[in-house]
Amino acid sequence: MKSTLEILQKHFDSSSIKTEKEDLENYGTDWTRYFNPNPVAIFFPKHIDEIQKIVLLANEHHFVLVPSGGRTGLSGAAVAKKEEVIVSFDKLNQIISYNELDQSITVEAGAITEEIQNFAKEKELLYPIDFASKGSSQIGGNIATNAGGVNVLKYGMTREWVLGMKVVTAKGEILEFNQGLIKNATGYDFRHLFIGSEGTLGFIVEATLKLTRAPKEKQVILFGIPNMEKVVKVMNTFRAELDLLAFEFFSDATVDYVMEHTHVGLPLAKRYPFYTIMEFESNNGKNTELVFSIYQKLYQKGWILDDIFGGDEQTIKHLWGYRENISSSISSFIPYKNDLSVRISNIHSFLSETEDIVKNNYPDFIVLWYGHIADGNLHLNILKPNKLSVKEFEEKCKKVNLLIFEIVKKYKGSISAEHGVGLLKKDYLEYSRSKEEIEYMKLIKNIFDPNNIMNRGKVFDT
Ligand code: 2HG
Ligand code: ZN
C-alpha cells in the first residue's frame, strides 16, 4: 500500500508539496499553542482543479485534509495533529475582480484580510470586518469561522458581507452559492451553512464580498473607569444616545503587557481598574459635542474618571493599540482563552456572576478581561503561572470552564462568540447548542462529507 506522501508525490508537482520539519510545525498549528502539530505534508494548490483532485484522492485513499489560511485562529480548527494533509491557500490569494456598480469584490480564499481592506480603500469604500490579525489572516478562514472583531457593533460579523461563494465540497463537486445577489429567496442558502463550518464540509475557494461607504471623520475617546459595573453603565448611556462604530473594554492588567510589548506609556496620566475605547463618526462635530456633553455628566457621577480624545489618524491608531495589541502581547504567556457572549441585556448579571467564579477559582492567577462588550462578547484570558506545566494549567482551566459555562448556559449565551469551536471548545458545545442541533450538524456533515475527509474531529467528533 502506498503512503499518503507517495500518493501526493505521484499526482502533484514536487514544488507544490512541503515536508520539511519546520514547515510541518509551522503550518500544522494555529495561534492556540495547545496542540502538537503532526501533519504528513503541506500541499499548495495554484488552481481550483488541484483542490478537486486532492479531495478525490483523499476520498479514494482515506486520508484527511485540513484547510489552512493564515492560521491566526484561536480554537485549533486549523491544527493538523493526526497525520493529515494540510491544504494551504497561500498561492490562491488573488483579488479576482471588482464590480463598481455592485460595490462588490471577488477574491480567492487565500486573499489577506488587510489587502482586501486596502483595495476597498483605494476605491473609497470599506470592507468593515476588522481585527488585530488582519495582516496575516486570510478571507477563507474568516468566512469559515464567521470572524467578528472590533466593528461588529456597527457592521455585524463576516456573514453579513459574503454575497457569494465558490466551494469544492468534500465529495469534490464545485458549487457556487448565491452568485453575488442581494436578494435570493430560492430555498436553503448553502452559503450560510459553509460560513462558520470551520472547514468540515469542504473548501471555500472564492468569495464575493460586499463593500460599503467608509465613515467620514472617525473619532475615538478612551476612558478610565472605576469598575466593571460602570463599564456597562457608560456603554449603555452612550449607546442610547448615538450610533457608535465601536465600543470595547479592557482591564488594567492588560495595559502592562501592551506597554512592555509595544513600548508605549500609560494610556492616561494615572492607572484605572478598567478602560473603554469608543469610536464614532464626528458628523460635522455634532456627535463630538454630544459625546462631550454626556461625558461631563458621567464624569460628575464618577462613572468616568479620566479621558483621552483622538481626532487624528495617528492618535486614533495609538489609542486603538492599547486594545488591539493585547492578544499578541500576552501570547507568550500561553493564555487560556475564553470567548464568551450573552445578550446585551444580560451582560451586567453575567459579568458579575462570572467575576465571582473567576475570583474564587483563580485567586493567584493573572486574569485579564477585555473584548467587544457592546456586542456582548467578552474575552476572558487566564495566564499560565510559571510553576505549572501547560498540561496542569489546562486541567485547572478546564475544571473552572465548567462553572463558567454553566452561567453561559443559564443566560443562553455562547461558549465561543467569534473564535469558533475547533478542537479547543468542542467538548463544551452542548453548553450552547442542543443535542438535537448537534445531531443535525453531524447529519449535514455526513451528507457533504460521507467519508469524513474534511477537517475530521473539529467542531464535534463523528
Ligand atoms: C481580540 O478581540 C481577539 O483581540 C483575540 O479576538 C481575543 O486574545 C483573545 O482572547
Ligand atoms: Zn475578539
DSSP H helical ranges for 242-285? 252-262
CATH of the domain at 66: 3.30.43.10
Overall domain count for the chain: 4
Closest atom of ligand 1 relative to the 372 alpha carbon: 2
Strands annotated E in 170-225: 174-177, 202-210, 212-213, 218-225
How many whole angstroms separate alpha carbon 45 and alpha carbon 54? 9
Question: Residue 229: what residue type?
Answer: E
Task: Identify the residue whose C-alpha is closest to ligand 1 atom 8.
Answer: 327
Shared domain check, 155 and 262 = no
**φ, ψ (nearest 5 deg) of residue 188:** -55, 135
Shared domain check, 173 and 99 = yes
Of 33, 34, 74, 415, best ligand 1 pocket probe by most atoms within 8 Å of the beta carbon: 74
- Range of 407's domain? 334-441
Lining ligand 1 with CB less than 6 A are 131-132, 326-327, 337, 371, 379, 381
Closest atom of ligand 1 relative to the 337 alpha carbon: 10
Shared domain check, 405 and 358 = yes
- Check: CB of residue 177 under 8 Å from CB of residue 194: yes
CATH of the domain at 429: 3.30.70.2740
How many whole angstroms separate alpha carbon 157 and alpha carbon 148? 5
CATH of the domain at 227: 3.30.70.2190
Shared domain check, 409 and 435 = yes
Closest atom of ligand 1 relative to the 419 alpha carbon: 6
Q: Which of 69, 90, 111 is the last residue of a domain?
A: 90
Query: Nearest ligand to the C-alpha of residue 327?
Result: 1
Shared domain check, 246 and 316 = yes
Q: How does strand 104-108 pair with strand 162-169?
A: unpaired
| Ramachandran class of 156: left when φ > 0, alpha when ψ lies in -120 to 50, beta otherwise | left
> Which three cell numbers, joined as nine digits, stand for 425?
471548545
Shared domain check, 206 and 102 = yes
Q: Is residue 453 domain-resident? A: no
Task: Identify the residue whose C-alpha is closest to ligand 1 atom 3.
Answer: 327
Strands annotated E in 294-413: 306-310, 336-341, 366-372, 377-383
Shared domain check, 255 and 347 = no
Q: Which of 90, 114, 142 is the last residue of a domain?
A: 90
Shared domain check, 403 and 344 = yes
Q: Is residue 184 domain-resident? A: yes
Question: Residue 10: what residue type?
Answer: K
Shared domain check, 269 and 179 = no
Kindly give the confidence (pLDDT) of every residue in the chain, 462 residues in length, as a single tens digit, with 9 standing for 90 and above: 789 999 999 999 999 999 999 999 999 999 988 899 999 999 999 999 999 999 999 999 999 999 999 999 999 999 999 999 999 999 999 999 999 999 999 999 999 999 999 999 999 999 999 999 999 999 999 999 999 999 999 999 999 999 999 999 999 999 999 999 999 999 999 999 999 999 999 999 999 999 999 999 999 999 999 999 999 999 999 999 999 999 999 999 999 999 999 999 999 999 999 999 999 999 999 999 999 999 999 999 999 999 999 999 999 999 999 999 999 999 998 899 999 999 999 999 999 999 999 999 988 899 999 999 999 999 999 998 888 988 899 899 999 999 999 999 999 999 999 999 999 999 999 999 999 999 999 999 999 999 999 999 999 998
Q: Which of 275, 293, 327 is the last residue of a domain?
A: 327
Shared domain check, 362 and 303 = no
Query: Nearest ligand to the C-alpha of residue 382?
Result: 1
User: Taking the mean position of all CA atoms in its chain, how far away is CA 425?
Assistant: 14
